[in-house]
Amino acid sequence: MISVMESFAQAENESRRENIRIGLAMKAANGSSDLYRRKLYGYTKNKDWELVIEDEQAKVVRDIFRWYPDGASVLGIIKRLSEAGIPSPTGKEQWNKRAIETMLENEKYTGTVTLLDSATQNYEFQMKECHSPIITESEFRAVQEEKKKQSNIVLDDEGMRRSSKKYSSKKK
């Protein structure tokens, strides 16, 4: 009897999970998902809960996206921000490396928001001109190209591995 009740409960949970997933996908597809309007550094929300550019933070974002393709490393950017006395998004004196890396990878700064189904990674929804961009699409692409150049990850017949030579101070 208990196993029959457990199987009914399991079936109900699976049905509920699938209904939630479908509902979230439908909201993403028609553009009404709140995930399109999630706040990030450089933006604030207005009274209608839409993202609007916050000028002082947006200048910092533009500087970061300009410095990186000009040859500054992530640690170099952190040093510049620290010297300028610019607090991190969390309000701390020191920026962390992951905050800069995440910012440089975030297409949302171009005004485009892409959503993936976190469970299956199958559904992808993209909304362009979702909000005002801080940087241009070309600036974003330049940063992505520079990230590829600076990467020490190599993809070959053996799979992905770290390069033992690139960016190493050791001479072999």
| Topology given in CATH for the domain delimited by 35-162 | Hect, E3 ligase catalytic domain fold (3.90.1750)
Measured distance CA(108)–CA(55) in Å, rounded: 16
* 81 class by beta-carbon count within 10 Å (0-12 exposed, 13-18 middle, 19+ buried): buried
Amino acid, res. 166: K
- Long-range (24+ apart) CB contacts under 8 A made by 35-40 are 35/113, 35/115, 36/113, 36/115, 36/127, 36/130, 37/130, 37/131, 40/106, 40/108, 40/109
Residue that wins the pLDDT comparison between 117 and 71: 71
Of the pLDDT bands very low, low, confident and very high (cuts 50, 70, 90), residue 32 is: low
Quickly count helices (H) and strands (E) in the chain.
5, 6
Task: State pLDDT tens for residues 74-99.
Answer: 899 999 999 999 999 888 989 999 99
Please tell me which of 24-33, 46-55, 153-162 the model is most confident about, judged by mean pLDDT: 46-55
Entry pTM: 0.69
Which residues does 95 contact at the CB level (< 8 Å), separation at least 6? 77, 78, 81, 82, 86, 88
Q: Where are the domains of the chain?
A: 1-30, 35-162
Q: State the distance between the two ends of the chain, measured CA to CA, in whole angstroms.
A: 70
45, 51 contact by CB (below 8 A):
yes
